[in-house]
């Protein structure tokens, strides 16, 4: 993740944990430190650009928020659409996905260069083909504006993406006038629009962040459609103290004990009413440990102020003998600083960062039940890729 980072501007990553609908893997401490080093020192301090494929496990109900690489705030996660602009059966959905672009499906694949005697192939596909297309577009953007930071690139990716298939019923109107979908992110990459926008782009201020205390819940999750909802209120004074002007990424680190993890789903609702489905059910996931200090991420709340009540809803929608308890969580808001002169660099992560849940004085918030619908099931074609 930092190989020759003084010269490599963009890292295109078409790899990750198994797309099997049951794995839940995150980078180890060395990779976390490497990515942060790339962000802080790559491109002479402007930040390396990390592009990740969203994953090919959608047919197995996999979700890119169970992948700690694709749900990193440092990654631009790219999903796929086929040549007709439809969602292919394999491309994973999640709240961490920023954009989509073309790949295999609808009876065709990507034609490109390859290893071997022919040096070409007409059978490249999956999100592994989509991510490099995104990386190529971002290279064009940097050729026009090499002074842009890694966060400027994410802002431009969000701002210039083109929403597609608006009749799916899952698009949300965000607070800054954009549309977001868990299937398509902010939409399809538009290379021309992104390069043109980059030419006059006003660079964002340095990054700032707000960490909530651990919210101790320790409450059984009712089985059924409503779930267990717990809220944490973020005040304007807290965000001023954190030097945070507006939100870009939101992460939720949580612990849920459950004897069959795949029965669980989790929603995050912002003070502005935008809903992130940060976790979805997976029938293949029989893990008996639940969520253990797992961090979910969402880009759906881009541009929000962040002031007010943030609600986390944990659902156990499958009525069976497997039950669980929502133990605790904390929220981190990442975004643009109010005063760039007060901005600081994020310290290098430690293995024990999320281990001590009593380290910060926590507030227990009364639980309530509510109902939030999930996105419709994928109806894409089941063609091979």
Q: Mean pLDDT across the chain, nearest whole number?
A: 92
Same domain, 138 and 268: no
Same domain, 218 and 196: no
Please give the tally of structural domains in the chain.
Answer: 2
Q: Which two tokens stand for residue 29?
A: 């401490």
The confidence score (pLDDT) of residue 338 equals 98
More confident: 77 or 226? 77
C-alpha dihedral, 5 to 11 to 15 to 17, nearest 10°: 60
118 pLDDT band, cuts 50/70/90, is confident
**Inter-helix orientation angle 150-160/127-144, to 10°:** 110
pLDDT > 70? residue 378: no
Q: What are phi and psi of 189, to 5 degrees?
A: -60, 135
Mapping DSSP onto H, E and C, the string for the chain reads CCCCCCCCCEEEECCCCCCCCCCCECCCHHHHHHHHHHHHHHHHHCCCEEEEECCCCHHHCCEHHHECCCCCCCEEEEEEECCCCCCCCCCCECCCCCEEEECCECCECEEEECCCCCCEEEEECCHHHHHHHHHHHHHHHHHHCCCCCHHHHHHHHHHHCECCCHHHCCCEECCCCCEEECCCECCECCHHHHHHHHHCCCCCCCEEEEECCCEEEEEECCECCCCEEEEEEECHHHHHHCCEEEEEEEEEEEEEEECCHHHEEEEEECCCCCEEEEECCCCCCCCCCCEEEEEEEECCCCCCCCCEEEEEEEEECCCCCCCEEEEEEEEEEEEEECCHHHCCCCCCCCCCCCCCCCCCCCCCCCCECCCCCCCCCCCCCCCCC
pLDDT > 70? residue 382: no
Same domain, 282 and 195: no
Same domain, 105 and 231: no
The confidence score (pLDDT) of residue 358 equals 55
**378 located within any domain:** no
pLDDT digit string (tens) for 20-49?
A: 999 999 999 999 999 999 999 999 999 999
The confidence score (pLDDT) of residue 114 equals 87
Question: What is the pLDDT averaged over residues 350-376?
Answer: 47
Same domain, 213 and 151: no
Q: What is the CATH number of the domain that holds 229?
A: 2.60.120.260
Q: What are phi and psi of 165, to 5 degrees?
A: 50, 55
pLDDT > 80? residue 214: yes
Range of the domain at 221: 207-371
375 pLDDT band, cuts 50/70/90, is very low
CA 72 to chain centre: 6
pLDDT > 90? residue 381: no
pTM equals: 0.91
Same domain, 183 and 215: no
**377 located within any domain:** no
Same domain, 63 and 114: yes
Same domain, 185 and 246: no
Question: What is the pLDDT averaged over residues 315-320?
Answer: 94
* Minimum mean pLDDT range among 114-128, 202-216, 314-328, 346-360: 346-360
Domain boundary among 158, 181, 200: 200
**384 located within any domain:** no
Q: Is 165 left (phi over 0), alpha (psi -120 to 50) or beta?
A: left
The confidence score (pLDDT) of residue 356 equals 56
The confidence score (pLDDT) of residue 329 equals 98
Give the side-chain half-sphere CA count within 13 A for 201: 27
More confident: 380 or 27? 27
The confidence score (pLDDT) of residue 357 equals 65
More confident: 78 or 381? 78
Q: Are strands 244-258 and 291-298 parallel, antiparallel or unpaired?
A: antiparallel
**380 located within any domain:** no
121 beta partners: 112
The confidence score (pLDDT) of residue 372 equals 41
Same domain, 34 and 50: yes
Q: What is the CATH number of the domain that holds 147?
A: 3.40.50.200
d(CA 189, CA 150): 17
The confidence score (pLDDT) of residue 364 equals 33
126 pLDDT band, cuts 50/70/90, is very high
Question: What is the pLDDT averaged over residues 287-300?
Answer: 98
67 pLDDT band, cuts 50/70/90, is very high
**64 located within any domain:** yes
pLDDT > 80? residue 230: yes
* Minimum mean pLDDT range among 44-48, 227-231, 257-261, 358-362: 358-362
The vertex-51 CA angle with 49 and 55, nearest 5°, equals: 165
Same domain, 65 and 169: yes
pLDDT digit string (tens) for 183-193?
A: 999 999 999 99
The confidence score (pLDDT) of residue 361 equals 32
CA 9 to chain centre: 21
Domain boundary among 200, 217, 235: 200
Q: Identify the residue whose tokens are 């789903």.
A: 265
d(CA 293, CA 330): 10
**355 located within any domain:** yes
Same domain, 52 and 157: yes
More confident: 168 or 276? 276
**32 located within any domain:** yes
Domain boundary among 153, 174, 200: 200
**381 located within any domain:** no
Question: What is the pLDDT averaged over residues 367-382?
Answer: 35
d(CA 52, CA 131): 6
Q: Identify the residue whose tokens are 């309530």.
A: 368
pLDDT > 60? residue 116: yes
Same domain, 189 and 261: no
The confidence score (pLDDT) of residue 365 equals 36
């Amino acid at each position: 993740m930092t190989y020759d980072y003084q010269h490599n501007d963009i890292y295109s990553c078409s790899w990750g944990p198994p797309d099997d609908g049951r794995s839940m893997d995150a980078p180890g401490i060395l990779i976390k430190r490497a990515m942060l080093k790339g962000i802080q020192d790559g491109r002479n301090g402007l930040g390396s650009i990390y592009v990740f494929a969203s994953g090919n496990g959608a047919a197995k109900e996999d979700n890119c928020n169970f992948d700690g690489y694709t749900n990193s705030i440092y990654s631009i996660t790219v999903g796929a659409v086929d040549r007709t602009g439809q969602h292919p059966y394999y491309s994973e959905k999640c709240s961490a996905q920023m954009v989509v672009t073309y790949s295999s499906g609808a009876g065709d694949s990507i034609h490109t260069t390859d290893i071997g005697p022919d040096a070409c192939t007409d059978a490249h596909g999956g999100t592994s083909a989509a991510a490099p297309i995104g990386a190529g577009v971002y290279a064009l953007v940097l050729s026009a504006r090499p002074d842009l930071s890694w966060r400027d690139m994410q802002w431009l990716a969000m701002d210039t993406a083109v929403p597609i298939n608006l009749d799916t019923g899952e698009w949300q109107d965000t607070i800054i006038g954009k549309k977001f979908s868990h299937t398509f992110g902010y939409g399809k990459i538009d290379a021309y629009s992104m390069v043109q926008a980059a030419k006059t782009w006003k660079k964002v201020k340095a990054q700032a962040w707000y960490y909530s205390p651990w919210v101790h819940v320790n409450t059984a999750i009712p089985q059924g459609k409503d779930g267990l909802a717990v809220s944490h209120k973020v005040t304007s004074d807290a965000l001023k103290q954190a030097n945070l002007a507006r939100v870009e990424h939101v992460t939720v680190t949580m612990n849920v004990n459950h004897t069959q993890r795949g029965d669980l789903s989790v929603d995050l609702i912002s003070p502005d009413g935008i809903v992130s489905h940060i976790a979805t059910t997976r029938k293949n996931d029989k893990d008996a440990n639940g969520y253990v200090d797992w961090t979910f991420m969402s880009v759906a709340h881009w541009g929000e102020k962040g002031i007010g009540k943030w609600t986390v809803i944990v659902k156990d929608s499958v009525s069976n003998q497997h039950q669980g308890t929502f133990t605790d969580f904390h929220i981190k808001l990442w975004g643009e600083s109010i005063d760039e002169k007060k901005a600081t660099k994020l310290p290098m992560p430690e293995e024990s960062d999320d281990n001590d849940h009593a380290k910060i004085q926590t507030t227990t918030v009364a639980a309530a039940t509510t109902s939030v619908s999930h996105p419709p099931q994928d109806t894409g074609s089941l063609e091979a890729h």
